[in-house]
C-alpha cells in the first residue's frame, strides 16, 4: 500500500513559482511510490463564499476533488476572501475532511500559511517554503 502524502499549497492554477515547486515535489513523490495529493484554497472569487454570497443566504463551503495542472487533489473554497485572515479558519472543516486520508503532510509554498489548518488541529507536517530544496 502506498502512503498518501498531503501537499497543502497555494492554488496551483494561479501561482507560477509555487505551482512549479509543487509540481516538482508531486512528481518526485510519485516516482518514489508515494501517492501525493495537493490541497489548496481556491483563489478565484467565483469559487469562494464571499460576504455578498453569505448575505444572499448561501452558507455552503465547497470543496472539489479533481486534477489540477496534472496533479490529483482538492480545492477548498475560501470563506470571506475579502478578509484574508479568515481564509484558513472558516473552511477548517473542509480542510480536515481533505486531510483524513493523508499519512504525512508536506506544506509547499512561498510561506507556511497553508500549514495553518494542520497546525490548528495538531497534525504534524514538514514545510518547504521559499527556498530551493538544497537550502
Q: Hey, which of 13-17, 31-35, 57-61, 108-112 has the most confident mean pLDDT?
A: 31-35
* 3-state SS assignment for residue 20: helix
Average pLDDT value over all residues in the chain: 92
- The cell for 114 is 497553508
Strand partners, 79: 49
C-alpha 80/C-alpha 61 separation (Å) is 10
Helix (H) / strand (E) element for 28: namely helix 16-31
As to burial, measured by CB atoms within 10 angstroms (0-12 exposed, 13-18 middle, 19+ buried), residue 9 is: buried
**Residue 129 in this model has a pLDDT that exceeds 90:** no
Does residue 11 register a pLDDT over 90?
A: yes
pLDDT category, 130, cuts 50, 70, 90? confident
Question: Domain 4-129: which topology?
Answer: Rossmann fold (3.40.50)
Write out the three cell numbers for 19.
Answer: 505551482
Could you read off the pLDDT of 66-120 as tens digits, one per residue?
999 999 999 999 999 999 888 899 999 999 999 998 999 999 987 888 999 999 9
Contact 18/9 with Cβ under 8 angstroms?
Answer: yes
Rounded to 10 degrees, what is the CA torsion of 94, 96, 97, 102? Answer: 140
Predicted confidence band at 125 (pLDDT cuts at 50, 70, 90)? Answer: very high
Domain locations in the chain as residue ranges = 4-129
Amino acid at each position: 500500500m502506498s502512503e498518501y502524502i498531503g501537499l497543502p499549497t497555494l492554488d496551483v492554477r494561479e501561482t507560477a513559482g509555487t505551482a512549479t515547486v509543487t509540481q516538482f515535489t508531486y512528481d518526485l513523490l510519485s516516482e518514489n511510490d508515494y501517492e501525493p495529493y495537493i490541497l489548496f484554497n481556491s483563489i478565484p472569487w467565483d469559487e469562494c463564499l464571499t460576504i455578498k454570497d453569505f448575505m444572499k443566504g448561501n452558507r455552503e463551503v465547497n470543496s472539489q476533488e479533481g486534477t489540477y495542472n496534472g496533479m490529483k487533489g482538492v480545492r477548498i473554497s475560501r470563506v470571506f476572501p475579502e478578509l484574508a485572515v479568515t481564509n484558513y479558519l472558516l473552511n477548517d472543516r473542509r480542510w480536515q475532511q481533505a486531510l483524513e486520508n493523508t499519512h504525512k503532510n508536506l506544506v509547499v509554498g512561498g510561506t507556511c500559511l497553508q500549514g495553518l489548518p494542520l497546525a490548528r488541529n495538531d497534525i504534524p507536517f514538514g514545510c518547504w517554503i521559499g527556498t530551493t530544496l538544497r537550502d
